[in-house]
Amino acid sequence: NGLALEHADSELRADREVSLVAVRQNGFALRFVAEELRRDKCVVLEAVRQNGLALACAPDLWDHRVVVWVAAHQNREALGLVAERLRKEFPWRLSLSDEALRMAA
């Protein structure tokens, strides 16, 4: 279970490969990875693929289009976390319509 990372020492939490395995199992394991890895696009992408709401654990990437799109594709509620700048971009929002999300699934 990826959440076991909560009880791991700081060295394991900072290990990129260990963190990737953990977030693939449970996106919310992102809470327990080292802070620098919560800014790593690859680690965060794996987490939000598993659970879009894991985006809450990576505020530094709330304005990254790809990360946000993947998170929203997995769980529309993740849109509530996106940076204001992205919320205002109307054409980008259109691409997240229900139909577009179904087609991408």
What are the phi and psi torsion angles at 63 (to 5°)? -110, 15
Work out how many domains the chain is built from and give that number: 1
Amino acid at 87: R
Rounded to two decimals, the pTM is 0.81
Name 23's Cβ contacts closer than 8 Å, sequence gap at least 6.
2, 29, 30, 33, 43, 46, 47, 50, 54
Indicate whether 86 pLDDT > 50: yes
- pLDDT tens-place string over residues 14-71: 999 999 999 999 999 999 999 999 999 999 999 999 999 999 999 999 988 889 889 9
* pLDDT at residue 97 in the model: 55
Tell me which residue range forms the domain holding 86. Answer: 2-104
Task: Using CB atoms within 10 Å of the CB of residue 84, give its burial: 0 to 12 exposed, 13 to 18 middle, 19+ buried.
Answer: exposed
